[in-house]
Amino acid sequence: MAFKVFVFAQGKGWIPVSDVLNHNGVAASEDEALSLGCTLVMSGIVENMRTHGAKTGDIVGFKILPTEDLPQPLPKQARSWLDFKHLFFKRGSSYFLYKTWSWPD
């Protein structure tokens, strides 16, 4: 089963991965989907470590949902979910960075 990743951008809500990366957002497994979502969030932190999460458009979370779409390989810059999972908390099918989220209603 494949999984589709959506990212949560401050002030914009849920957006498809294809809006921020040249990737369709579909991963072959749950582990790959977690790594893809984590990569997108952590990329923003590297660029704006002190202020990440404070500006509109900052990616602070992601969610993964089952899909029938065809997966793409992970990008070369993909990071391992296992190395960063301690920085996130889970709510439903969503994962957010601690202290940077605003939950969508």
Domain membership of residue 6 (yes or no) is: yes
In the numeric block, which tokens belong to residue 105?
């209603």
Q: Domain residues for 52?
A: 2-70+81-97
What stretches of 1-105 adopt beta strand conformation (E)? Answer: 2-9, 13-16, 26-27, 59-67, 88-91, 94-97
Domain membership of residue 104 (yes or no) is: no
**pLDDT of amino acid 46:** 63
Domain membership of residue 10 (yes or no) is: yes
**pLDDT of amino acid 105:** 45
Total domains in the fold of the chain: 1
Domain membership of residue 102 (yes or no) is: no
Domain membership of residue 105 (yes or no) is: no
For 11, counting Cβ atoms within 10 Å of its Cβ (0-12 exposed, 13-18 middle, 19+ buried), the class is exposed
Domain membership of residue 23 (yes or no) is: yes
pLDDT (tens digit, 0 to 9) for every residue of the chain, 105 residues total?
A: 899 999 999 889 999 999 989 999 999 999 999 999 999 988 876 666 566 666 788 888 999 999 999 999 998 888 999 999 998 999 999 999 886 545 554
